[in-house]
Structure 1
Amino acid sequence: MNKKFTSLAVALMVAGTLSAETISIPKLETTEDYCYLKMKNLALSLHGSKADSVIMKAVDEENLTKAQLDSALWQIVDKQIVNGVATYQIRNKATNAYLAFAPKDEPTPVLDFSAKGINRWQMDGNKLKGYYPGTTDYLVIGVGNDGQFAMKKGGVGTEVSFETPKINFPLNAESLGNGFTVFQLVFGDKYEGNIFEGKELIAKDVDADKGYVTLQIKGDEVFSDGKSKLLGVDTTKVTITNANDVFGANFKADSTYKALAGVHTVGNANFQQFKFTIDLKNDSIAMYVKAAPNVNGESLSEVVGDVRVVYAQTGNKKVLTVSRVGTDGTIEQGALPLITSRQGTPTTLPDGDGVYYLKSASKDVEGGKYYVAYKDHEGVFFGGDSVPVLTHPRGQWIVKENNGKYTIVDRESNTALVQNKQIFEVSGMEGAYLIDQDTISVKQVGVDLKDKFIGSFAPTEQDLVDKGYYMNFFLSTPGVSELYMYTNDSILKGSAVDMNLFKLYPVDTTVVAGAKLLGDEISEITYEVGGYFVDGKIAKNGEKGLKFSTSADALRFRFRINPAGLTQYAMMTEEGKYVGIDIHSSNLQLTDQRTEVNFAPEDAPEYASFEAGHKRISVDGNSLVMNPLNRFAQMKAEGSEITKAVYEKDNFSLWVEPDTVVAGKQLYFISSVVDGTRYYLSFKDTTVNGISAEAYKNAMFLPDTIKTVKDSPALFAFKVNEHGGYILENQQQLKGGDYPYVGISGNSVVLERFASVAFEVQTASAPTANEEMNVSEIKVISNDGQVIVTNASGKMITLSNILGQTIGVRRANSEYFSMPATSGIVLVTVEGDTTYKVIVK
């Protein structure tokens, strides 16, 4: 491709619509220079953030950056004659992209680089026109009445003028490296004394003198004594015939010093400050120094005023030096070298993007401390000897690199250390970098950015379904041991012995932290807390007490991890109160003092579901039976003696009848008949065989009035034992007593604190004289992956989730009807009856 073009008069001069008619436009020399394409005093440009979109913009060279101006500069290249007419391509300076559009009937201002695009241009009068490939259809471009870029198939277009850009545009530190302060100076020839050639240079703006920068060699920024090593003009010289004042002075990397009698005749600070301007049409650079020493005078002195970098021809050598600039802007001695610049190699972190800890490597009082945040160009640090941890966002920073520039944002308060800025290695300090204004050592850590709940307790959805949690308190009170949370007659207490299994019900999720500038968000889940298979949730009891309640509004809690990284959590209400304990009463209460709990997960207990029927409940060859003489529950074998009789088969056939479902757990009545009267397994505070009721409660069979008692002591659940069989669990004692499990003492059946017996449950035949049982009551039972509804044949069954969304509707076609259901809490509504709540595993 021919990158050169003749004058724009020739480059864009064609006869109208592929004719031989010519027009005149201002001449430019044959060149590879760039120019503005102006229409209605606006310049054709590429969009700043969408480099494939074409716009029109005003060009203000005094206030725009070089990068902004480059996006509005174009080069005319690749002349081709088509049907006797010259056509060209137009290339953007900033991106090297060609002006090209998709050949649509309604074209859009988005560049299209495909071979079928409209990408060759000619002048029709003073207007740019491009032809649709292979047709006589054409596209014109221009400016609409709203000042926006416009183009139209077969349209009129806008007249174009061509203007050269500024020839002495000033460059700051970042402009030298195309957006980076790391850059290289490229010279058009070889010069002795050129300490700049082939080096990666770091430029730094001099705040006190706008337009000047200091230069250092990357990787060689300091001397062994810690002093900065800056490039500049030296007080030594190369002898050149007829040299005046500064001409012949050498360049040198040196520290900065002041004039000092007997040591330095003049200070060199101004000799180390450079100014660069660029000719935007071809990117050639003029290089100046703020001042230089008069190396050819009778005594050494400082020559103030712009001094330009030039070269001197001495014999067959060319030497890089400086010359004064005359009042007309021309150099007084020497010749001008061709200088351009290109982007250098920016410093990058070897471990790449990720989560880091940042530690101050400075020599001041903050040295060695870890950064928490960064505000107003100053670090905020951990106090004392505290350090960041993997499980808490405080002190974690997300580091993201983009084309050699870094954005570094903290995960707790979303403050930015830098945004799209360079970082620099610190010479002599491994792992340390100059970031913004601070010297910082960095360490990447293995934090999973997919964990959006870091810093708080957030089990998986499946764990919330499958598991319960024991919670124990860690108290700061001396002499008080860890206490477990449990409920005693609905009041929440702490105990070193007793404990309850709690269930967490997620209510809401709130974003509370994160490096949001980089799209990182950290959330907390708000929970209501209930008991596993116990109705009710934690609510307020008075001003600051806590209780289990089915009627009061449930409190909502967040669990925030200990900042030191321990797996302990502060249990906080939405109002910022903590759950603590009154050490005198052991009652739990709300407090302003941080108290922490630990979670011990436990697989949720599984409970059996039986249809109403006769069952034999046995262990080790003995079966549960009612002594017909005193109605005590006992374990006996067939043929065992009773006064004047023996236990026969019918005595062991117990009626197991589903009753209610409590928080997804099916409860049953267990009964037996003597002389036509039905009695129900329950318990009684008494003694048997001389054993005190303080050790356990004796199981007895009581009259059927026990069924109607509020919170009946005759309701039992069959808890699946992981090693086989079932644990009989008394619901009343589980909720508020100390003896929830059916056990055995001798031949007597008792209620114990801890489960020690697993029973076998077998279907039994009905007693010979069994009376008719009332089994018409509707029951809802949960089972693995399904819900079972009994005695509801012909009724519509509706399943819903806890959000009220319907997940299934079917009509029961039997008295023992099952429906598939997903795991979790399911609401079961029976037509003409009520709504039941069950937990499906």
Structure 2
Amino acid sequence: MNKKFTLLAAALMTASTFTANAEGTVDADTSVKAEEWTVGNYYYLKSGDVYLALDGNKPDSVIVKSLADDATKASIDSALWQIADKETALGVTTYKITNKATQDVLSFAAKADADMNLASGVDKWVISEDGKISGFYDDEHSYSLKVDGKLSLTTENDGGATFTVKAPKKDFAVDAQQLGNGFSVFQLMFGDTYEGNIFEGKELLATDLKDDEGYVSLQFQGDLAWPDGKPKYLGVDTTKTEIAGAIGAYGAKFVADSTYESSTAHSVGNADFQKFKFTVNLKNDSIAMFVKAAPNVNAEKLAEITGKDIRVVYAQTGSTKVLTVSETGDALQGALPKITAKRGTPATIPTGDGVYSLQKVSKGADNGKYFAAGREFMGKDSVPTAHQVRGQWLVKEKNGKYAIADREADTELTKGFAEIFEVQGMEDTYLIGGDSVKIKKMNVDLKNQYLGSFAATEEELVNKGFYLSLFSATAGVPELFMFADDTIMKGSAEELQLFKFFPKEAEVKAGAKSLGDTIKMIPYQLGIYFRNGKVAKAKDGEEGLRLSASAPESVLSFYFLSDANGQFYSMKTGDKYVGIDVNTSKLQLTDTKTVVNIAPEDAPEYASFEAGHKRISVDGNSLVMNPLNRFAQMKADGSEITKAVYEKDNFSLWVEPDTVVAGKQLYFISSVVDGIRYYLSFKDTTVNGISAEAYKNAMFLPDTVKTVKDSPALFAFKVNEHGGYILENQLQLKGGYPYVGIVGNSVVLERFASVAFEVQTASAPTANEEMNVSEIKVISNDGQVIVTNASGKMITLSNILGQTIGVRRANSEYFSMPATSGIVLVTVEGDATYKVIVK
């Protein structure tokens, strides 16, 4: 330590005579001598045109900044420093330098490359005669404050900046919020006991007066009005304390009163007696307190004293000190009390941060209505709900102030974080932005970024489908389910189709963004389970919606917007809503909302079988073709046919995979009679008393049914959640009779699934069966080639030019390979080359 100060003494001279003349925002004609650098006094450290200060946005960062003539007290306080804790050793004097705003000591890390953030280390500073501020970071090395556009530390002996110590203004005018250190609620302390002091120990509320710049009104916080509703203000009264030799307003008392004009009841009005002005000596925050006018309580006739500065003083009457006022200047009577102020207790919202509804309860046309986006109001009977963002306001607190913004359009009800005020006699009511506002916290989960719209979970998208139904506003129209009638989107009271949701990128649509709140919506494209295509706009010249598999550019995305109760939705695309024409049952896009219900349902599962013989049965009976009329029936072994009986071979049906539609495997189911293969299908006919209007009769048709477009012979095996399989006809998914059922012993196609079949592997028939199950077959399909009975063999695909387009080894007896459209040559290892046409 001794070595350190010896080195510093050689480089610097003691700052005992260091003074500076103030200018600009500093106190005029003030010289600050080193002996005045004491605890409780704060000064500027100025270098050129900038002041040493703390960063208002990052208060642990030391900077230099300029100060405008209209700088606020808070901005000035961050640039004021107490230079105290003087220590002298070996002829060198050091000081601790403490910031007024934060009471942090100027201290940097004890290393040559220290940054400008406050840190423990060097906290004792030498101020040289030429104004350099330096400190040692080890026993032999020091650094100095340097200003070169910004503040830094330099280890160069002559690199330090020159600082001057200047006194701040001693009559800085403060407004309402500066009285309470950023709040209008504050307390005044007078440093002594004074009779008639109505201010001491009270929570005071200051309000800036628009028509009297620089003046404020004062009220008791929590006691703002009289029972009749008239505001209660503090001011100078027309009554007085008798003081010998008093003149003018000297001796006038203070009182809380309403405001009145001169009249027969009052010889003078008191409005200006209730207007106060405060100035602060920034060096030590002592306050001078003035009123705009006061009554001449010592004149023969009561009159108003105006046009003069009238200051709060005290009078000594015997052993009692009385708080009163006096004109300033040569006529000043009494003595000046030592007045200081501190922040009071601002109003708080006890239920804390969260989402609130805000209801206007002040007088006016919109009284009782709820605030909504844009400072507008909801309808007369409309109330904000937890399920829609309209009318929801996010409230956040920070250091006793509140920011309030709506979640629909980010309208700010306060300008940033602002002070709020309780309204006397009204529970949960605050003065916000000039309005009396009743607030109520809402049960809203702020983590739910999709509030107000439907958002399926990832699990639901994978495992669920959704039934969509519409509720028309037309009287007498029942709930109508959305479905695709072929490709036209309609509503039906009976047809149900399960929709698959395809989410697009979530979009930010709302939220109190200024407070870090975002509300997103997910647009969905809609498909139908095991149907190709998605819901799209109608073709040019047509109206409504359709299911399209060939025009992806026409596919629409939909938002599902929640209703007020969070139970139902409306479907929106662009600026239109999905509705229904009750005359045609067609879906349409309209300007009017239609209520939509979303009902999740487990997504259907479908079985996948390799080609083979199967027995399809239920309750001891099995599916079989009547060889005489080819109708499908349910029979048991030994059941009679005319002139014969059903034998085991009759029940062995060939189940042959064909195409895959939208992830669903479809099959042909066939049987052979007299060397001819017939395929399970259906026919519109009335037989055995079974009405063609109620059912479609299932029957086996010749093999030409395989090659027709939209073959009626394609079936899928839908997994039943309670066991077995529901046999589903693909074509009749559009026609309305998709499910295989049983009426008596006859097999039919019906509207709703009522039968679950067991599917068992069966042996190949020994009679009336011409199919060689070991025979290799090559089948072409849409975009693929299917090879049967070639498991383990290498399959090579070539085009007509002999160029190889694919080689794979078959891993099942029913093996498919993708192929481009056109003529394809299929070579099966150890067998032959087949020519097929792929569509």
Partner of 1:67: 74
Aligned 1:161-240 pairs, distance under 5 A: 161-240=164-243
What residue number does 1:801 align with? none
Runs of at least 4 residues of structure 1 off by over 6 A? 13-16, 775-780, 790-796, 811-814, 828-834
Cα distance, 1:461 vs structure 2? 2.1
1:74 is displaced (CA, Å) by 0.8
- Contact 2:682–2:696 (8 Å) recurs in 1: yes
Correspondence 1:456 to 2:485: no
* SS across alignment from 2:700: strand
Task: Provide the residue aligned with 1:606 in structure 2.
Answer: 605
Rounded to whole Å, the distance in 2 between the matches of 1:750 and 1:611 is 25
* Partner in structure 2 of residue 750 of structure 1: 748
| 2:333 is aligned with 1:333 | yes
**Structure 1 partner of 2:18:** 25
Residue 5 of structure 1 corresponds to none
User: SS where residue 706 of structure 1 aligns?
Assistant: helix
Given the alignment of the two structures, is residue 759 of structure 1 paired with residue 750 of structure 2, yes or no?
no
Is this contact kept in 1: 2:358–2:437, CA < 8 A? yes
Answer whether contact 1:528 1:554 (CA < 8 A) is retained.
no
Alpha-carbon shift at residue 181 of structure 1 (Å): 0.3
1:506 CA displacement: 1.2
The answer to which of 283-292 and 90-99 deviates more is: 90-99
After superposition, the Cα gap between the structure-2 partners of 1:793 and 1:274, relative to the gap in structure 1 and judged at 3 Å, is farther
Q: Secondary structure at the match of 2:14?
A: coil
Among candidates 255, 272, 275, match of residue 273 of structure 1: 275
* C-alpha distance in 2 between matches for 1:537 and 1:479: 31
- SS where residue 76 of structure 2 aligns? helix
Structure 2 spans left out of the alignment, 5+ residues: 20-32, 783-789, 797-806, 822-839
Separation (CA, whole Å) in 2 of partners of 1:544 and 1:629: 49
Match of residue 46 from structure 1: 54
Change (3 A) 1:301 1:14: farther
Structure 2 counterpart of 1:409, from 402, 405, 408: 405
Matches within 5 A, 1:320-719: 320-326=323-329, 332-374=332-374, 379-418=375-414, 419-542=416-539, 543-552=542-551, 553-561=553-561, 564-565=564-565, 567-574=567-574, 576-719=575-718
Find the counterpart in structure 2 of residue 3 from structure 1.
none
Show CA shifts across 1:744-802 (max 9, x none): 1111111001111011112222333551354777999xxxxxxxxx9698899xxxxxx
Check whether the contact 1:39–1:142 (CA below 8 A) recurs between aligned residues: no
Return closer, same or farther for 1:816/1:242 CA change in 2, 3 Å cut-off. Answer: farther
The offset of 1:650, in angstroms, is 2.2
Residues 123, 741 of structure 1: CA spacing in aligned structure 2 closer, same or farther, 3 A cutoff?
same
RMSD: 2.6
Give the secondary structure class of the aligned counterpart of 1:579.
strand
TM-score normalised to the size of structure 1? 0.88
Deviates more, 1:331-340 or 1:192-201: 331-340
Distance 1:733 1:341, change over 3 A: same
Q: Is the 8 A contact 1:14 1:86 kept in 2?
A: no
Cα gap change, 1:563/1:372 in structure 2, threshold over 3 Å: closer, same or farther? farther
1:276-322 deviation digits (Å, cap 9, x = unpaired): 00011110000001111111111111111221001111101111111
2:146 is equivalent to residue 142 of structure 1: yes
Identical pairs, percent: 58
Cα distance 1:829–1:86, how it changes in 2: closer, same or farther (>3 A)? Answer: farther
8 A contact 2:13–2:92 mirrored in 1 = no
Give me the whole-angstrom Cα distance separating, in 2, the residues matched to 1:276 and 1:829.
91
Q: Report the alpha carbon displacement of residue 499 of structure 1 after superposing the two structures with TM.
A: 2.3
Q: How far apart are the structure 2 equivalents of 1:775 and 1:34?
A: 100
* SS in structure 1 of the partner of residue 462 of structure 2: helix
Does the alignment pair 1:102 with 2:101? no
Please list, as runs of the form range in 1=range in 2, the aligned pairs for 1:276-291 lying within 5 A after superposition. Answer: 276-291=278-293
| Per-residue deviation, 1:817 | 12
Higher strand share: 1
Pairwise CA distance, 1:814: 6.9
Contact 2:725-2:759 at 8 Å conserved across structures: yes
CA distance in structure 2 between the aligned counterparts of 1:135 and 1:715, rounded to whole angstroms = 95
What SS is found at the alignment partner of 1:607? coil
Q: CA deviation at 1:697?
A: 0.9
Output one character per residue of 1:364-386: Cα deviation in whole Å (capped at 9) or x when no partner: 22111111135xxxx41112211
- State how far apart, in whole Å, the 2-side matches of 1:308 and 1:69 are: 25
The CA deviation at 1:18 is 4.1
* Deviation at residue 413 of structure 1 after TM alignment: 1.5
Structure 1 residue identity aligned to 2:226: F
Name 1:88's counterpart in structure 2.
95
Secondary structure of the structure 2 residue equivalent to 1:417 = coil
Q: Which deviations, in whole Å up to 9, do the C-alpha atoms of 1:134-157 show, x marking residues without a partner?
A: 44222221211xx22222344611
CA 1:585/1:656 → structure 2, altered by over 3 Å: closer, same or farther? same
Deviates most, 314-323 or 628-637 = 628-637
* Cα pair distance change 1:337/1:792, threshold 3 Å: farther
8 Å CA contact retained: 1:638, 1:648: yes
Q: Secondary structure at the match of 1:223?
A: coil
DSSP-derived class of the 2:504 partner = strand
- Tell me if structure 2 keeps the 8 A contact 1:214–1:274: yes
- TM superposition shift of 1:214: 0.4
**2: CA distance between counterparts of 1:600 and 1:478?**
23
* Counterpart-to-counterpart distance in 2, 1:190 and 1:582: 84
Contact 1:526 1:556 in 2 (8 A): no
- Tell me the secondary structure at the aligned position of residue 687 of structure 1: coil
Q: Letter of the aligned partner of 1:761 in structure 2?
A: V
CA–CA distance in structure 2, aligned partners of residues 792 and 180 of structure 1: 85
Could you tell me which amino acid in structure 2 is paired with residue 372 of structure 1? A
Q: Structure 1's 242 and 777: CA in aligned 2 closer, same or farther, altered over 3 A?
A: farther
Matched-pair contact (CA < 8 Å) for 1:14–1:122: no
Q: Tell me, what secondary structure is at the counterpart of 2:346? A: coil
